[in-house]
Amino acid sequence: EADIYQTPRYLVIGTGKKITLECSQTMGHDKMYWYQQDPGMELHLIHYSYGVNSTEKGDLSSESTVSRIRTEHFPLTLESARPSHTSQYLCASSEYTAVGGYTFGSGTRLTVV
């Protein structure tokens, strides 16, 4: 049974629409991350959070924003979707990096047309 949930799994949306990708975890982890991955490419960190009300931008510049109002919830928002945002978005959480690393959600495959 998955401990970290991402919805939707797949999303096709028109240019200019506002979207929110949901991510929730039931493990009580303080650290949460959003990665973006294109086929055949490495996972790029776009946002991370150390806990409630803590958010930071990752190594890859992204037009998306995140919020962390509750420990278990870390949604990602795109105010105006563009075709360049087409990608897979993976949410992860961790307690201690040195022990088992991250737990990932199943991802959201976003297509902007």
Residue ranges binding other proteins (CB under 8 A): 4, 6, 9, 31, 33, 35, 40-43, 45, 48, 50, 56, 58-59, 90, 92, 94, 96-98, 100-107, 109
- Integer Cα distance of 109 and 39 in angstroms: 11
- Integer Cα distance of 7 and 51 in angstroms: 21
Nearer Cβ to other proteins (15/111) = 111
Nearer Cβ to other proteins (2/79) = 2
Nearer Cβ to other proteins (18/27) = 27
Q: Write down the least CB distance from residue 62 to other proteins, Å.
A: 15
Exposure string over 78-110, b if 16+ CB within 10 A, otherwise e: beebeeebebbbbbbbbeeeeeeebbbbebbeb
User: Residue 38 gets which letter from DSSP?
Assistant: -
Q: Write down the least CB distance from residue 35 to other proteins, Å.
A: 8
Nearer Cβ to other proteins (14/40) = 40
Structure tokens at 9: 């799994």
Q: Write down the least CB distance from residue 79 to other proteins, Å.
A: 25
